[in-house]
């Protein structure tokens, strides 16, 4: 999925226009979303407390002042279908997925003489006090007064949220510099939560200099731990299962939303707590829109269909795309373009290894390898090279976000998980093709994590033909 960030867990298909589809979406919303506002997302698995503690220690090892991070409050989104999910950086450092929490990390002992003025723990988690009345609506939440809360969270000290302000004010008398994740503009806009955190910190510690810790956290997130890789593999496997089911059910006469619904069902039944992003199923002319999410077209004979749909498992996002013919058989032109995209993807994948990058130039660029392949292996209807129709980047990191932080010009390092997703989009031919897979950079090169899902024309057509044959053999209702 090129270029778009996951922006929240409000389900993204409400633009489906067919009246009978709206009833389906309402039912689906009941399945995916809790009835109470800001219900907490129930993640199936979680990394061990020791992993989060190690990350916090690494982050704090080279700083000269406190790191202050505030989690989401649960009030960032008003939609009835909203399911609370924690700020990614906060979750990465704590594993805590409930509303209204905060984190303080202090430099290691002995870094500064002023450390003598602070005798408490170097890592503190703040949680809301117990609120039985609220829990009658939203379910039980962790609180500082819970027995064994330190063991459950992995923090030596867990304090009530009302004590956060006084703690920061005390630290402001000791340390002249504070760190937090400062706001900045992204593709989908700014981040009010980060701005609110910055404003609050300026009020609580008005004399302190405030520096950005974002890039340091991003550097940690780039290299996946063994437990992160296990969760990513779960998300990817569920996404592959959904793609198989979509290939088997695909045929003219279906609506785009029906295919997307089947894929979401496969994800959910396999343990996915949410979609990694709004499902993209675009048929015919919609195949040429990169992030088409209306899901409102009935598939017609001769349509090509782009299916960019990924599961989220325990917070970790997969990102898989396949392009298939609605009737199970590629036309000669569709096959030609598909084979060019596949050739470009294979060329880029074969070049993957530590030290390569995704810059748009340079002799280490796998993007350039893919672009050059596309630009020299086919023509449009006017005889011009196809490079002009490859209009997005080649890939991106994945992790807690479908677009995990990472500089595309930074050389690949072992432990990075990324997508390779070349595409050609020709609106005048109603023909868009994208093939996207998830890969792990290893010491020796790469591992294709989504290898189980076929990419060749012959394999895709065989899966669809076999499924069509089974459908025709079924008794008529």
List of domains in the chain: 48-221 (3.40.350.10), 225-473 (3.90.230.10)
Asked if 234 and 271 touch (Cβ cutoff 8 Å), the reply is yes
> Which residue has better confidence, 75 or 195?
195
Phi, psi at residue 189, to the nearest 5°? 115, -170
DSSP-derived 3-state class of residue 318: coil
**Helix 366-376 / helix 332-350 crossing angle, nearest 10 deg:** 150
Residue 40 tokens read as 């907490």
CB 308 within 8 A of CB 246: no
**What 3-state class would DSSP assign to 28?**
helix
Structure confidence at residue 189 (pLDDT): 53
Give the separation between CA 297 and CA 17, rounded to whole angstroms. 9
Pairing of strands 177-180, 209-212: parallel
Among 90, 92, 83, which Cα is nearest to 41's?
A: 83
Residue 217 CA, distance from chain mean position: 16
What the block records as the tokens of 169 is: 């004010």
pLDDT in tens, 197-212: 999 999 999 999 999 9
Instruction: Show the beta-strand stretches assigned E in 233-273.
Output: none
Any residues with CB less than 8 A from the CB of 130 and at least 6 apart, and which? 143, 145, 146
Where does residue 464 rank: exposed (0-12), middle (13-18), buried (19+ CB within 10 A)? buried
DSSP E strands in 206-258: the ranges are 209-212
pLDDT-derived band of residue 82, with 50, 70 and 90 as boundaries? confident
Nearest to 278 by CA among 8, 44, 79, 77: 8
pLDDT score for 384 = 96
Question: ∠152-399-296 over CA atoms, to 5°?
Answer: 115
Dihedrals phi, psi of 296, to nearest 5 degrees: -115, 10
Give residue 15's pLDDT band: very low, low, confident or very high (50, 70, 90): very low
Whose tokens are 């990191």? That residue is 397
Dihedral sign from CA coordinates of 129, 132, 134, 140: positive
Let me know: does 103 contact 94? Beta carbons within 8 Å.
yes
Q: Could you give the CA distance from residue 72 to residue 88 in angstroms, rounded to a whole number?
A: 10
Average pLDDT over residues 293-317: 98
> Which residues have C-beta within 8 Å of that of residue 296, sequence separation ≥ 6?
15, 16, 17, 18, 21, 255, 256, 257
Decide if 293 contacts 306 (C-beta within 8 A).
no
For residue 173, give both structure tokens: 């008398």
Q: Kindly state the average pLDDT of the residues 114-134.
A: 87
Distance CA 424, CA 260 (A): 22
Question: Is pLDDT larger for residue 1 or for residue 392?
Answer: 392
Structure tokens at 427: 């609106």
pLDDT (0 to 100) of residue 26: 40
pLDDT at residue 187 in the model: 54
Task: Report the DSSP beta bridge partners of residue 432.
Answer: 425
Per-residue pLDDT tens over the stretch 249-301: 999 999 999 999 999 999 999 999 999 999 999 999 999 999 999 999 999 99
Give dist(CA 433, CA 450) in Å, integer: 18
Contact 326, 431 (CB under 8 A): no
Residue by residue, DSSP assigns 334-352 as HHHHHHHHHHHHHHHHHT-
pLDDT score at 118: 83
Tens of pLDDT, residue by residue over 145-163, are: 999 999 999 999 999 999 9
CA angle centred on 4, ends 452 and 303, rounded to 5° = 60
pLDDT at 98 over 80: yes
462: tokens are 């065989």
What pLDDT is attached to residue 42?
87
- The DSSP output letter for 206 is T
Q: Provide the CB-side half-sphere exposure for 329 (13 A, CA).
A: 5
Q: Point out which residues pair with 158 in neighbouring strands.
A: 125
pTM of the predicted protein model: 0.92
Measured CA angle at 188 (ends 186, 192), to 5 deg: 75
């Amino acid at each position: 999925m090129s270029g778009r960030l996951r922006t929240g867990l409000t389900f993204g298909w409400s633009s489906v226009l067919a009246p009978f589809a709206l009833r389906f979406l309402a039912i689906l919303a009941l399945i995916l979303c809790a009835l109470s506002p800001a219900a907490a997302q129930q993640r199936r698995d979680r990394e061990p407390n020791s992993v989060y503690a190690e990350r916090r220690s690494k982050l704090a090892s080279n700083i000269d002042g406190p790191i202050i991070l505030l989690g989401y409050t649960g009030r960032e989104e008003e939609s009835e279908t909203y399911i609370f999910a924690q700020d990614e950086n906060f979750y990465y450092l704590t594993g805590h997925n409930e509303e209204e929490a905060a984190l303080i990390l202090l430099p290691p002992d002995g870094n500064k003489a002023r450390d003598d003025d602070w005798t408490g723990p170097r890592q503190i988690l703040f949680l809301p006090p117990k609120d039985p009345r609220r829990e009658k609506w939203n379910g039980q939440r962790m609180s500082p007064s819970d027995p064994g809360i330190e063991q459950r969270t992995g923090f030596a000290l867990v304090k009530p949220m009302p004590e956060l302000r006084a703690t920061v004010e005390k630290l402001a008398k000791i340390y002249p510099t504070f760190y937090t994740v400062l706001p900045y503009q992204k593709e989908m806009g700014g981040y009010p939560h980060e701005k609110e955190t910055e404003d609050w910190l300026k009020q609580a510690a008005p004399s302190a200099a405030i520096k950005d810790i974002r890039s340091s956290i991003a550097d940690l997130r780039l290299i996946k731990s063994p437990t992160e890789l296990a969760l990513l593999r779960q998300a990817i496997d569920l996404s592959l299962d959904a793609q198989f089911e979509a290939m088997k059910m695909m045929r003219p006469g279906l609506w785009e939303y029906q295919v997307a619904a089947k894929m979401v069902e496969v994800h959910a039944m396999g343990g996915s707590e949410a979609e990694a992003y709004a499902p993209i199923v675009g048929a015919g002319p919609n195949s040429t829109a990169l992030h088409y999410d209306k899901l409102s077209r009935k598939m017609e004979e001769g349509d090509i269909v782009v299916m960019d749909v990924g599961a989220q498992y325990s917070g970790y996002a997969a990102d898989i795309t396949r392009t298939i013919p609605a009737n199970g058989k590629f036309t000669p032109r569709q096959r030609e373009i598909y084979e060019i995209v596949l050739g470009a993807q294979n060329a880029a994948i074969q070049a993957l290894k530590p030290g390569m990058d995704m810059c748009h130039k340079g002799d280490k660029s796998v993007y350039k390898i893919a672009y050059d392949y596309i630009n020299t292996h086919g023509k449009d209807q006017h005889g011009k090279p196809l490079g002009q129709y490859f209009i997005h980047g080649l890939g991106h990191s994945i992790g807690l976000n479908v677009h995990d932080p990472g500089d595309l010009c930074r050389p690949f390092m072992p432990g990075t998980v990324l997508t390779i997703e070349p595409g050609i989009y020709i609106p005048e031919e109603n023909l868009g093709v994208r093939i996207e897979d998830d890969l792990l950079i290893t010491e020796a090169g790469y591992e294709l994590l989504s290898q189980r899902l076929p990419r060749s024309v012959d394999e895709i057509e065989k899966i669809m033909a076999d499924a069509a044959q089974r459908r025709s053999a079924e008794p008529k209702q």
